[in-house]
């Protein structure tokens, strides 16, 4: 005998309610852990404003949020998401001008100081970069006569100076396996007095020079697999984009234009490179295949379009622009469509994929 409608209702309603409760519980647990899938929540961008505050905004322009800051500090800058997506590091400057490095949870909680300015950052604390394992942060201290690179453990202990030579060491980035660090230096003056690209082990040892030309070499970035390095160089008389193997061999020129091409950024899958170019008179964002082919112009507007940054899924590129008379953050599809302004600010950095 088939069950009656009333009987079905008595059985179905509790079962459905239980299923909804289970699904809701899973969703809440995932939210608490901070790892909702990209389909659930838009990707996030952390950035700074010229007024010295740090904010987070979703890539669709929603959920605009100011993050807390340490007390008694006057300016916060250079926010960077940890590769595991759980924390944000930044630089904070005291009223007296000294700077220290801080870290906080990605939701703005648990703000902690990693360095103490006394003696260490009494000069000028500048850029920072996370190791790929989210365990260490490299940073730069700029003095009057030299710039040097340091590393600090995430718990704030064991600050180590990695470089100590006359001149400037800067523009650094960790390898994808966290074993090496690329950087730019004038320590050897190049063969003609310019900048060159170096690599060292993450403990500062085994420093190796990757470029040696009469002109400048800068803007080095690792490919996602760590096998290649894209960079900018004036070795042929104009800033152009090049790529080389991670040991400095097999150098190949990717761009060749009368205007400057610089600031390369690899796509997450390593198949494309975004860059900034002044080849058409204005500074705009371009993208090309990793072999230099299929060059496409993504932006064509007044003002400066600078510092392209790929979203973790490779679908979007964030960049900075001054077209409205102030620094603003925009996003554009990686094929050049659907460009839109998110907010005023600078130094956009995407939350990583989870």
Question: Which CATH number does the domain housing residue 120 bear?
Answer: 2.120.10.30
Least confident piece of the model among 18-27, 182-191, 197-206: 18-27
Question: How far does CA 127 lie from the centroid of its chain?
Answer: 11
The number of distinct structural domains making up the chain is 1
Joined tokens for residue 143: 């003095």
Which tens digit of pLDDT belongs to each residue from 232-266? 999 999 999 999 999 999 999 999 998 999 999 99
Residue 233 in domain: no
Residue 17 in domain: no
Residue 335 in domain: no
Which tens digit of pLDDT belongs to each residue from 276-315? 999 988 899 999 999 999 999 999 987 899 999 999 999 9
Which strand ranges, in their side-by-side order, compose the sheet holding 316-321?
305-310, 316-321, 328-333, 340-344
Residue 92 in domain: yes
Q: Is the dihedral of CA 170, 317, 93, 157 positive or negative?
A: negative
pTM: 0.85
Q: What is the pLDDT of residue 191?
A: 54
Q: What is the pLDDT of residue 155?
A: 76
Residue 326 reports pLDDT greater than 80: yes
- Burial-class residue 231 by CB neighbours within 10 Å (0-12, 13-18, 19+): buried
- Taking CA atoms, 164 is separated from 149, 202, 219, in Å, by 8, 14, 21
Euclidean distance between CA atoms 146 and 173, whole angstroms: 19
Residue 36 reports pLDDT greater than 80: no
Residue 351 reports pLDDT greater than 50: yes
- The backbone torsions φ and ψ at residue 324, rounded to the nearest 5 degrees and listed phi first, read -100, 15
Residue 121 in domain: yes
Residue 193 in domain: no
Residue 131, domain extent: 43-161
Q: What's the mean pLDDT in 143-172?
A: 87
Residue 215 in domain: no
- The residue with greater pLDDT, 139 or 116, is 139
Euclidean distance between CA atoms 318 and 111, whole angstroms: 26
Angle at 319 between CA 325 and CA 278, to 5 degrees: 80
Euclidean distance between CA atoms 241 and 189, whole angstroms: 21
Which tens digit of pLDDT belongs to each residue from 19-28? 434 434 433 4
Residue 300 in domain: no
Q: What's the mean pLDDT in 190-219?
A: 90
Which of the 8 DSSP states describes residue 2?
Answer: P
Helix (H, G, I), strand (E, B) or coil at 41: coil
Which tens digit of pLDDT belongs to each residue from 331-343? 999 999 899 999 9
Q: What is the pLDDT of residue 199?
A: 98
């Amino acid at each position: 005998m088939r069950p009656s409608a009333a009987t079905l209702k008595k059985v179905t309603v509790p079962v459905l309610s239980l299923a909804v409760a289970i699904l809701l519980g899973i969703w809440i647990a995932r939210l608490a852990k901070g790892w909702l899938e990209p389909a659930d929540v838009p990707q996030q961008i952390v950035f700074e404003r010229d007024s010295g505050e740090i904010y987070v905004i979703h890539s669709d322009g929603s959920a605009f949020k100011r993050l807390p800051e340490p007390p008694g500090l006057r300016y916060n800058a250079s926010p960077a998401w940890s590769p595991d997506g759980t924390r944000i590091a930044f630089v904070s400057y005291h009223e007296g001008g000294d700077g220290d490095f801080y870290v906080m949870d990605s939701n703005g909680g648990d703000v902690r100081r990693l360095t103490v300015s006394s003696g260490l950052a009494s000069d000028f604390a500048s850029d920072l970069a996370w190791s790929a394992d989210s365990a260490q942060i490299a940073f730069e201290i700029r003095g009057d006569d030299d710039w040097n690179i340091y590393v600090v453990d995430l718990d704030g202990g064991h600050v180590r100076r990695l470089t100590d030579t006359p001149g400037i060491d800067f523009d650094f980035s960790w390898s994808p396996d966290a074993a090496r660090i690329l950087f730019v230096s004038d320590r050897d003056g190049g063969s003609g007095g310019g900048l060159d690209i170096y690599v060292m082990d993450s403990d500062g040892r085994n420093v190796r020079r990757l470029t040696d030309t009469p002109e400048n070499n800068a803007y080095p970035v690792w490919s996602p697999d760590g096998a290649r390095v894209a960079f900018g160089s004036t070795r042929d008389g104009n800033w152009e984009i090049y790529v080389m193997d991670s040991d400095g061999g097999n150098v190949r020129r990717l761009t060749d234009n009368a205007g400057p091409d610089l600031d390369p950024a690899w796509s997450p899958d390593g198949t494309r490179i975004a860059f900034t170019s002044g080849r058409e008179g204005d500074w705009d964002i371009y993208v090309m295949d990793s072999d230099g082919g299929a060059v496409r112009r993504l932006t064509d507007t007044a003002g400066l379009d600078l510092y392209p940054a790929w979203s973790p899924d490779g679908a979007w590129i964030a960049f900075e622009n001054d077209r409205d008379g102030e620094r603003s953050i925009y996003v554009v599809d990686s094929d050049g469509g659907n460009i839109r302004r998110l907010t005023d600010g600078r130094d956009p950095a995407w939350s990583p994929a989870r």
